[in-house]
Structure 1
C-alpha cells in the first residue's frame, strides 16, 4: 500500500529565513511531483485534505493534522491476482487447444486455425503483461516520489529547527542526532501519533540538550579522571555485551549502539588497511609512470614537469567506503578504488614545438675561411602535468546524499573510532587543530626570516589540500612554502615548485649550519625519489609546515628524524 505525500506549511516569519524558504520550496516541489504521480494512480479517489490551524492573527502555522483522507492507501498491483487471472485463462484455452488437437491430423485447416488462435492468445498475454508492468512501474515511481517528498519535508523541518535554536550544538554528531530525532518524530506524526513539526522540534531540542549535557560531563570526567577512562570503557563494553543477552536490558542501549555504529568504521581492520594499501599501489604505479616518462617518451629536447603531490588521507578513503558499502571486504571495493583514483588524478602529456634560431658555422676546405649563419629549427618539448583534485573533493562531488555526506564528515571527525589504525601516516589526520609556537625575539632580528614567518603564520590552521598553492584553495606542503617565498617581500620569485623543485633553488647546507629561515627537506614520507616533504625551519628544533593543517612541529620527533633529508638555504 502507498500513502499520499504530506505538504507542510510555514509561517511568514519562518519563510523570512532564506535557508528555511529554500528548503520549504524544495519540499513543495517534491510534494507536487509526488501528488501528480499519486493522482494518476487514484484519480477516482477523494483527494487528501490537510487541516491547517490558524493563530489569533490568522497566519498559517506549520502544524500538521493528518485526516484519514490524507492517507488514502493506493493498492499495489498484486502479483497473486495477476497470476490468478492468467491461470484461469490458461486453463480454459488449454482445454480448447486439447479438443482441437484431437482432429488436427485429419484437417490441416483446423491446425491453421489453432496456430492463429495461439498467436492471438500470445499477443493478448503480452498486452496484458505490459499493462500490469506499466501499473507496477507507475506505483513504484509514485512510492519513490513520496519518499523523496518526505525527505525534503524533514530537511525543511530541520532548517526550521536550526532557525529557532541558533545555539544548538553544532558539531557533526549532534547535528546527526538532531536530524535522526526529526525523522523519527515526522514518521510518528505521519502514522497519526502527533504533530510532526512540534514534536520534531521538541525532540531535537531535547536531543540537543542531552548531547550538550553528556558532552560537558564527558569532558569534565576526562579532565579529572583521565587515568580511569580506559577501565571505565572496558567495563562499560562488557556490561553492554552482558546486558545484550536480555531483551529488556538491550533496549536501554539501542540508541547508544546506533550512535557508536554510525560513527565507526564497520569493516574488519585487515580489509580497511588492505583497501588503503591497494589505493597506495595505484598511486605508486602512477609515480612509476611519471618517473619513466623520459624513457617511454624519448626523443624530446626538453621535458617540463608541473606535478602535484601524489598522496591521500587514508581516513577519507575508509570513511567513504564505510558510507558506500558499510561492512566491506577488500575484494568488493576494487572497482570503486579504481574509480576514485581516476577521478582524483589527471595526468596529461602535451607536445609543444617551438621554432628557435641557432648559429651554424662552416669552413671552406680550399680557402680555410669560416662563415657563420642563422638558421631556424624545431625544438620539441614534452609538458608533463599532473593534477591531484584531492580525495575529499572527489568524494564531495561523488553524488552521495546529504545524509551520507553528513555521516562521512562524522566518520572523519571521529576517525571511525580507530584513531591509530593508520599508524604514523602524516596525512592520516582530519585537520583543524594546529600547534602554535613562540619564536624567540632574537631570531626575528633577521629581517629576511621575520618577513617569511610573518607571511607563513597568516595561514596557521589552513587544511592540507592536494595541489593547493594559494590561500583561496589552501595548500599542500610545497605549495605553502612556494607561496611564502614568493609573497614574503624578500624579492624572491620561484613560481610553484614541488618539494624536490624547491631543493633545486637552494644551496644544500650541513645540519650544524642551519638557521631560522632555511628550508628543511624530508624523504620517504611517500613513495617518490628525492625530497617528498618540505618545511620552513624556525630554530630550536622546530619548523612550520603544511601537515594537516598548517602547523608548527618538532623536527626532533622520531617520525621526522627517520625521514630527514637535508637543509637548504634559498639562493639570493
Structure 2
C-alpha cells in the first residue's frame, strides 16, 4: 500500500503494477514543472544496492515504475534528513561547548617552557573552576524552532526541538489577587481600633502588641525572601567570580608569554606596565566580540602582544637616541598641567564650597521646619498630659507604679530624618510621617495587675464554762487575730523612648542614612533654628561693682548662685545627659531645666525654647514681654536672634541694675557664661516669670 494506492510487486519477475482503481493524488505543494523534474530524476535513479530485487529489469508500466521508485526515493530522503538532523545537532552541541569553553589551547612549545608552566597551571585551574561554576547554574529546556531546507526539492521546513540552556537569573513575583483587598481591610480595621483605643487601655495595649507582631512578621518574611533570593542567585555569583578569575589568569599567561618571547621588555618597568595594559584590553575585546570563544581571543591577543612589544621596543630606542628632546617635552607638559590646575583651582574651590554648603543644609523653608517641630512637640505635650491624668482617668486602683522614660527629642534629629527621607517638606506633607515616627519613638503601656495580699483582723470569740460545784454555766468572750486575704489592684504605667537616631538607622536606606549623618553633623547649617543657643564667643562678664535693683517680686537667689557656679562648663554634657539625651543637643534649654530641677521643681522642663519653653509659660499665665520691669532673679529670659518671632535661646535672670539685665546662660558659644544686655535690646523676646511663693 502506498500513497498512490495498492501496488502489486512480483519479486520473481521484478515487476510492480498498480492495482488500485483510485485516482493518483497530486502533490499540490509542487508546481507542475517541479513534479515533472522530480519524476524524471527518480526514473533515472538506479535501484539502491540494498534493494531486495534481482538485477533483471522491470517490466512494469512507466507510471507504476515511477511510483515505486518515488517510494524508494522518499525512504532514502527520510534517512538522509534524519542523518542530517543528527549531524546538525552534534555540530550545534560542539559549537556551544567550544563557545562556552574557558580553556586556552597551549602549543607544545608553550607546554615545554619552564617559565610558563606556573601560569599554564593557573589558567587550567581557573578554567576548571569556571566550567564547574557554569555547570552548577540551573538549567532549563527551551523549545527552539529551526528552519531546514531540502536541497532536492527546494522546500523549507520548520522543526521544533528542545535545547538545554542556562536558566536566566531573576524572580517572577506571583500576584496575589487577595493582596490588595486584604491590605485595605487591614487598614480599615486598624483605623477603627485607633479611633476607640484611647478609651480602653487594654484594647490599646493589645493593639500595639498586635501591630508590633505584624511588623515583626513582615520583617521576618522580608528577610526570608531576601535569603531565598540570595541562595538562588549564588550559582550566578560564583560563575561571575570564576569568570573574572579565569580572565585574569588567561591575561597573566599572555603577558608572561609576551615577556618570554620578548626578553628585552623585562628590564623596562614602563614597557612591562604598558604591555600588560595592552594585552588586557585586547584580550577583553576579543573575548567579548568573537564568536569562536576563548581560543580565538587568545590567538589574537598573542598577535597583539607581539605587535605591542615591537612598538614598545621602537619607542624605547627613540628615547635612547633623543634623551634631551624627550626631557624637554616632558618638562613642558608638566609645566602646562601645573599652570592649568592653578587657574582652575580658584573656580573649583568656590564651586566646592558652594556645593558643600548647599548639600549639607536643610532644603525646607525655616517656617516649615519650625512648624513641623511645633507639631511634634505638641504631640509630646499631649502625651505628658495623658500621663499626668492617668490616676484621674483610671481610678479604682490601690497603687500606680510608674516606669517612665523622659519625653523629649533633639529637634535637629527630627529635621535631619525628615529631610533625608522627604527632601523638601511642609507641615502638611510631613504630618503622616511624624505620626509614624512618634508611634515608633514612644510606647505607653498600661498593665493592670492584681495581687493577693493579707491583712490582720481582730475578731471576738466566745466559749461556755461550767462550774463543777454548782453546775452553772457561763459564757466567756475573747479576742484573736487572723490573716485575711484580699485583692490589691495595681496599674503599671510604662513609657519607653526610642531615640530618633535609632529609628533613622532602621527606616532609612544606606544613602538616606548617610545624608542624615551629614545633616546631624552640620545641624543643617541652621544651628540656632530650634533654639540652639547663642553665637556669642566672648568671655563671661564680671559682676563686681554691679548694683542690682530689687523689684517687688521675690526671686530665688540660691538658684542663681548655683547657676553662676556652672560658668565655664563647655559642651553641656551634665545638662543634656540629665535631660535624657544620648548625644549632644543644643543645650541652653536643658541647662535652664537642670537648674530648676536642682531647686526641686519638676516643671517647667523643656528642651526647645519656642515650642516648649515659651508655650509652657504662656499657657500658665506666667509670661512677660520685652520691657517688663518687675523681673526677678531666677526668671527665664528668651531671645529671638533673627527677629522672626520664634525664640532661639534661653537663659536665667541674675538681676537688673535699672538699665541692663544680667544673665547666666548655657550654650553661649557652647559654654556656660555670664552676660548682660540693655533692657530694651531688640532680640529679647520676653521673660518666663517664676512663682517662688
Q: How high is the TM-score relative to the length of structure 1? A: 0.39
Larger radius of gyration: 2
Q: How high is the TM-score relative to the length of structure 2? A: 0.33
Structure with larger RCO (C-alpha < 8 A, sep 6+): 1
